[in-house]
Structure 1
Amino acid sequence: MKFASLGSGSDGNALLISTVSGATHTTVMLDCGFAVRETERRLERLGVAPTDVTGIVVTHEHQDHVGGVFKFARRHRIPVWLSHGTYSAVRKQCDGVTLHFCRDGDRLVIGDLELFPYTVPHDAREPVQYVASDGRFKLGVLTDAGQSTPHLIKALGDCNALMLECNHDREMLAKSAYPPSLRQRIGGAYGHLSNDATSEILSAVDKSRLEIVIGAHLSQQNNTPELAHEALSRAVDSTSIEIVIACQEEGFDWVKIAG
């Protein structure tokens, strides 16, 4: 099992999760916030053809996550999984796309991957994040959440790899040029996770099998890779658990979960 990011941030997000079983390859794309040609260009960088994508799974309807989903899916005839709430926000974009619906607690089987959606607090209609498994290894993903909950702490436990939002540094956000309403939204209970909040989440989850943690969805105005890395380092033993920071332009290259 391996995973890679096409890009992570407010200008667009897409994550690939892939596994091989015998002669069968399964690659799922989690969100697609890039235009079709840009998505194809970024896929090529990772050695993936659009026809290699088995399915697209959506977290919520904000454009940096869903902006390219339906055009890309329609062009390459790829099925899409999303919550009913997300569908209610994007239904006009869905013509000609094969849709499947999911909700918190469902078990989605896509090829040789299983995905488990779980609800998160975010200002969208029915936002979910996902834990993916190939039956041996688990990847937990958490972006676009305003606060920790016992539910998400439980969902992210016992993973081999975690990709966690480190959106902003609280002090940088407070001093930023953003208008007060935007600062309040980002830092609020249904906005985005700060470095400190993510560090607290990472401290609380079961890390008994954790090999690597990725800091993701960094604000280019209100955070730095160094601050995000420092916050994650406070929650793990960095001598045994690798820490990587995703970026907007390059995301990150393939990470293999070895066990």
Structure 2
Amino acid sequence: MNFCILGSGSRGNSILIESGSTAVLLDAGFSGKEIRRRLELINRSPEQLTAILITHEHGDHISGAGVLSRQLNLPVYANIGTHRAAETKLQKLHQRVEFETGTTFALNDLEIHPFRISHDTADPVGFTISDGKNSLCCCTDTGKITTLIRQRARRCQALILEANYDPQMLADGPYPLPIKQRVRSNQGHLANDDAARFLAELAESSLRQVVLAHLSSTNNLPELVTARIEEEIGQLNPVFRFDIALQEQPTRMFEL
């Protein structure tokens, strides 16, 4: 199983995950044209895609999903709450597929389990995705690390985890107070501190690869994330390595 984060941040999010003849986009938060361009940058064709999975209805996760579904005849998978909340943005889809949060389903070569997270949307989810040998946990846009998230991540070989903001940058930054409060809330986003402490918990788990994602372009910097994580995991000698996904360009292709 391979995966590549095509881009991640407050202006767009999308992840390519592939195994065998199956290739899915987890979220499609760029324009259809931009997603096509980024796929070409990693030598992938949009025509190779099998489906689109949606975590929640915010525009930076769905803005290109509708047009790609229509252009490429792709089914769009989301739970009922997200489909209903996203209808006006997605418009008519080639195929609308509903899954139940907490229930595993198969999509060709992949086994997919959507699990509940904490975000201010209708019914937000993270995903664990497995090819039968290895598993990837995708967990962004959550305001807190729950017991369920801990259980899901601990079983996986790779983790895509949000590290959205540096608390001091957020406090000193230009956001109005209500937005700052929303970001810091249990239904907002994870701070660098939250991500770092969680990774320290996972130092002796089955994880081999971590990619930090959804960094705010206003309230965070890659070097701040890196320093905070290195400070937290310190002498723990974790068995995983970590990379950082950026807004402007795809990551390398990760192989499990």
Which category of TM-score, normalised to the shorter sequence, fits these structures?
over 0.9
Residue 49 of structure 1 pairs with residue 45 of structure 2? yes
Counterparts of 1:52 and 1:207, CA distance in 2: 36
* CA distance in structure 2 between the aligned counterparts of 1:211 and 1:33, rounded to whole angstroms: 27
Structure 2, unaligned stretches of length 5 or more? none
- Deviation at residue 221 of structure 1 after TM alignment: 1.2
Deviations 1:33-61 (A, max 9, x none): 11111110001011111111111000000
Say whether residues 1:104 and 2:118 are aligned partners: no
Contact 1:229 1:243 in 2 (8 A): no
The answer as to 2:173 corresponding to 1:179 is no
TM-score, with structure 2 as normaliser: 0.94
Task: Give the equivalent residue in structure 2 for 1:249.
Answer: 248
Whether 1:37 aligns to 2:33 is yes
- 1:57-101 per-residue CA deviation (whole Å, 9 max, x = no partner) reads 000000000111111111100111001111111223341420111
Q: Secondary structure at the match of 1:235?
A: helix
| 1:202-245, Cα deviation, whole Å (9 max, x unpaired) | 23348432111111000111111111122333238567421101
State whether residues 66 and 91 of structure 2, in contact with CA within 8 Å, keep that contact through their aligned partners in structure 1. yes
Instruction: Give the fraction of aligned pairs with identical amino acids, expressed as a percent.
Output: 36
- Deviation (angstroms), 1:108: 2.1
Gaps of 5+ in 1: none
C-alpha RMSD of matched pairs (Å) = 1.5
Please say if 1:159 is aligned against 2:160.
Answer: no
Answering whether residue 163 of structure 2 is matched by residue 170 of structure 1, we say: no
1:11 aligns with 2:11: yes
Number of residues of Structure 1 aligned to a counterpart in Structure 2? 253
CA distance in 2, matches of 1:192, 1:2: 26
SS in 1 for 2:233: coil
Aligned partners of 1:48 and 1:175: how far apart in 2? 41
TM-score by length of 1: 0.93
Residues 168 and 256 of structure 1, relative CA distance in 2, 3 Å threshold: same
Instruction: Note if contact 2:118-2:142 (Cα within 8 Å) is conserved in structure 1.
Output: yes
Counterpart of 2:201 in structure 1 is 204
Q: Is the 8 A contact 1:159 1:207 kept in 2?
A: no
Of Structure 1 and Structure 2, which has the larger fraction of its residues in helix?
Answer: 2
Q: 2:61 aligns to what?
A: 65
- CA change 1:70–1:160 in 2 (3 A) is same
Contact kept in structure 2, 1:164 and 1:216, CA below 8 Å: yes
The aligned counterpart of 1:125 is: 122
